[in-house]
Structures are given as structure tokens and as C-alpha cells.
Chain A
Amino acid sequence: MKLLVTDLDGVEHSVDAMLNWTVMEIIRDGDLPMRAECGGSCACATCHVYVDPDWAAKLPAMEREERDTLDGGFEIEANSRLACQLVMTTELDGLRVTLTKDCAG
């Protein structure tokens, strides 16, 4: 499985995606910028990414905690998500996300 990650320079990277890993962990494992300060406990917004709108329908809806924590991020858009809350499944093979200043800054 692959995750396609666009960095802040607009360059797309294809990284190996492991089943049941979070998108945050996959990006970090792919040696791309990923601050994820709280370690994936939905507490800091430093894993904020934009999800390709074409994929939005396949993602689980946001829990209240994720919406609250996103308040600590910047330049929030309708397709903003916290990568630590997105778990890789076979349906998400090829998922496209874009890094933000929050996770790469």
C-alpha cells in the first residue's frame, strides 16, 4: 500500500503505507517532516494535513476531540484533518495528503 504525500514545496512523495498504522506514523516512517509533538494522542495539532477532497468520503468522520484539537492548528480548511486520527486501511491505498505548516514548520 502507498500513501502519497505532498510536501510544502509541492513535491509529491510515495511512501510505504502499513495496514492499521496512522497516517501520521506512515509519514514519519517515510522520513517526511512530521512534528506530531504529542505523539499521536490528539492533543497538539502538529500533525495537521490536508486530505485530497476526492478521498474525503472514504475517511471516518471527525470526532469531537479532533475538531477541538484542530483549533490549535492554522490555515484550517474543510479538508483539514489530524493525521494521527486517520488509520490506514486497504480502502485508503493511494490516499493523497498534503503537509501543512503545522506539521512541517
Chain B
Amino acid sequence: MTTDAISTDAIIVGAGPVGLFAVFELGLNDMKCQLVDILDKPGGQCAELYPEKPIYDIPGLPIVTGAGLVDALMKQIEPFNPVFHLSQMAESLTKTDEGKWRLTTDAGTVLEAPVMVIAAGGGSFVPKKPPIKGIEQYEGKSVFYSVRRMETFRDRSILIAGGGDSALDWTLNLQPLAHRLTLVHRRDEFRAAPDSVKKMRELAEAGKIDLRIAQIVQLHGEGGQIEAVTLKPDEGEPYTVQCDTLLPFYGLTMKLGPVANFGINLHQNLIQVDTAKFESDIPTIFAIGDINTYPGKLKLILSGFHEAALMAQQAFRYVHPDRKLRFQYTTSSSDLQNKLGVQ
């Protein structure tokens, strides 16, 4: 098992702005990083929730968008060659015989390091599940929140719910394979890319898909197999549509996920840390950014940056126990400038 493990100095769970800046602070102190994130791109909330929204309270940047900040951080950490394991969830954490942490992801990636940094923000982004009575019994059998293999859905009677890019993209991609495809959205307005909306409207006009403006209120089926759903339009009576597959695409929400099972002391789903090292109750496991809590905590990106800097000092003592920690400024230290590749 250990033969497949990737060895590094620090494993960072969460590639949001704070996880990214941790790469910089750890890098300046001679520690290499591997990052795990459930999203398919770095940036966390900045990338997923508000890429185009302005942020005004990043020191030194009077205005920067979520995406702009992520781009800048990616550039800043480039000299340290961080390795990203994206679209993966940190699943289980164990100790090796040598006393290192071994983190396994749901994609089977195994990482080993003496230091763990949890920078998981509000938790993992996972698909929103509609609060429809009894939906759990169908999940994974005939209700799916993502499409892994399109072939799975060939010749199925598919009902897709939602009005964003995922709903529209899968409508367009699965329509040619499906026996019949129905798209359900609560209003006759779609926030997806205009081109996708246009193509979807063409399919609907040609009778190749059914477009229903309504909300799902009830599921019908047996033994995990969905058979029909009841839809309720804004005006008029509810009606039932036959289908054998339901794909709800209502966007993402945040759940703490398996980090809760790592054995770390939690307070209201947050990791309690000290404010000198930002270390959890388990030595060598650190928590920085929105995921941690301490007296006076503010959930600001700038606080996470500070936490990353202090965390890296203590992490150095664990990763390089034989070396003396040297405090230096990037402005004057040729050693740091070498690491940054600016000399």
C-alpha cells in the first residue's frame, strides 16, 4: 500500500485562497505541498460561488474579483510547484508506522506527509439535494446528482431538473441517447449560457425534449426505482410525468464531510485551534481559514492568510526538526528570493 503513496511535506485539504497561500508560506520555509480539493479547479468559494464578484478587503488590493484573486495566488505560489488533486474528496486519515499522516481520497489517491493542513473552508462542495419526501431511497439507483458515464443513461426516460449550466449541458448531451428527456425548471427563464439555452429551446420546439415549467413536489416508484414525478406549475393543477431517471441540478452546497471523522476536536463543525500555531488538538494537524474557530475569529480571507503564516512556522519544526527556524523578509533575503526564483 505504501508503495503507491505520494510522499510530501504537507498535505493541504482545500485549495481555496487560504489553502493556496499556505503553499506560499510553507514553501518559503522549505516545505513542499500537495493539495486535495473536491472542486475541479482551485479557488474554493472564490472560484465556485463568486468568481466575478469584487472583493474590497484584501490588503493592498483595493478591488479584486474572486477569480482574479485565485489567479494572483496561483501565480504567487508557482515557484513552489504545488501538486493539485482536484475533483477528489479527502476521505480517510490514518497514521503510518513511521508516524506520518496517510490521507486517502475517494479517487484512491494516497498521500503521506508529517503535517496535515485543513483549509477546507465551509466544507466540501456537494450537490444540493431537493428536500422531496423519500428521495433518499432512490439516490444512486434512479436519482443521480452527477453524470459519470453518459452510457448509463442510454434509452432511459430522463427527467432533468434545474435552470443553470449543468442542467442545460446535460439536457443537450443526454438528449440524443435518451429514450425521452424532460427538462423541468421553476420558471421560463434560464441563467445558463445563452447558447445552451438557445439550443435547448430549439430541441423543445422541435418536440425532441419536453420542457416543463414547474417544480417537483412528489416522487413515485418502488424499491429505489423511480417511475414518475408529480410536477406543480405556478398556476393550475399538479400533474404527473413518467420517467425512470431523475437528475437534479440545483447547484452546490457545503458539507463538512469526512473531515468530521478524522478524530479532530470540533466545535459546531469547526476545528478548535490555538492562536499561536493554528494547530488542532492533534499535534501536526493544523486548521486555517473558515474551517477553524478561536476566540475573536473572523471569517475573512485576510485572517486565513495570517493563520497560514503562523501555521508554517510550527509546521517547519515538525518537518525539519534538525534545522533552526530562520525568520526572514522576502524584501531582503537572498535565500527567500532564490526560492521565489527572482534572484
Contact = CB atoms under 8 A, between A and B. Distances in A.
B248 to A, nearest CB: 10
Contacts of B164: 71-72
Nearest to A105: B131
Contacts of B251: 44-45, 71-72
Contacts of A68: 189, 191
Contacts of B128: 72, 74
Interface stretch (B16-24, B45-53, B75-83, B172-180): B45-53
B162 interface: yes
Contact of A76 (B49, B186, B299): B186
Nearest to A44: B49
B253 A46 contact: yes
Interface residues of A, number: 19
Nearest to B54: A41
A68 B139 CA distance: 26
Interface in B140-197: 162-164, 185-187, 189, 191
B215 interface: yes
A71 B163 contact: yes
A71 B186 contact: yes
A43 B253 contact: no
A45 to B, nearest CB: 7
B107 interface: no
B253 A44 contact: yes
Contacts of B189: 67-68
A73 B253 CA distance: 11
A87 to B, nearest CB: 18
A8 to B, nearest CB: 11
Contact of B131 (A38, A46, A71, A75): A75
A43 B234 CA distance: 24
Contacts of A76: 186, 215
B224 interface: no
B130 A74 contact: yes
A29 B325 CA distance: 43
A98 B164 CA distance: 26
B70 to A, nearest CB: 15
B50 A41 contact: yes
Contacts of B250: 71-74
B215 A41 contact: no
B122 interface: yes
B6 interface: no
Contacts of B299: 39
A78 interface: yes
Interface string B78-118: 00000000000000000000000000000000000000000
B254 interface: yes
A28 interface: no
A37 interface: yes
27 contacts: A37-B49, A37-B122, A37-B253, A37-B254, A38-B49, A41-B50, A41-B53, A43-B50, A43-B53, A44-B251, A44-B253, A46-B253, A67-B187, A71-B162, A71-B163, A71-B186, A71-B251, A72-B164, A72-B251, A74-B130, A74-B131, A74-B250, A75-B131, A75-B215, A76-B186, A78-B234, A101-B131
Interface of A: 37-39, 41, 43-46, 67-68, 71-76, 78, 101, 105
Interface of B: 45, 49-50, 53, 122, 128, 130-131, 162-164, 185-187, 189, 191, 215, 234, 250-251, 253-254, 299
